[in-house]
């Protein structure tokens, strides 16, 4: 019997739960994006080309927040 390493409950598949793995991945990507944003905004001061990319990241984060609440 396998214990899911993410939620620590028993998994019937012999591996971590797929939704736990998926959730963990989304969380890690969010953390990654949050860490990158200040850097990108700072760069944005020097280049207008980065504006669209930063906006897309901010939109992505606000969508994630909506989904969690």
Interface with Zn ion by CB under 5 A: which residues?
A: 4, 6-7, 17, 20
The tokens of 14 are what?
A: 């012999």
**Nearest-CB residue for Zn ion:** 4
- Is the CB of residue 51 less than 8 Å from the CB of residue 44? yes
Strands 2-3 and 10-11, bridge-based pairing: antiparallel
Name the residue nearer to Zn ion (CB basis): 25 or 63: 25
CB of 60 to Zn ion, least distance (A): 25
Name the residue nearer to Zn ion (CB basis): 8 or 67: 8
């Amino acid at each position: 019997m396998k214990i899911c390493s993410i939620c620590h409950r028993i998994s019937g598949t012999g591996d971590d739960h797929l939704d736990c793995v998926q959730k963990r991945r989304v969380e890690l990507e969010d953390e990654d994006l949050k860490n990158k944003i200040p850097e990108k905004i700072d760069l944005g001061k020097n280049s207008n080309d980065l504006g669209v990319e930063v906006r897309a990241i901010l939109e992505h984060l606000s969508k994630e927040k909506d989904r969690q609440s």
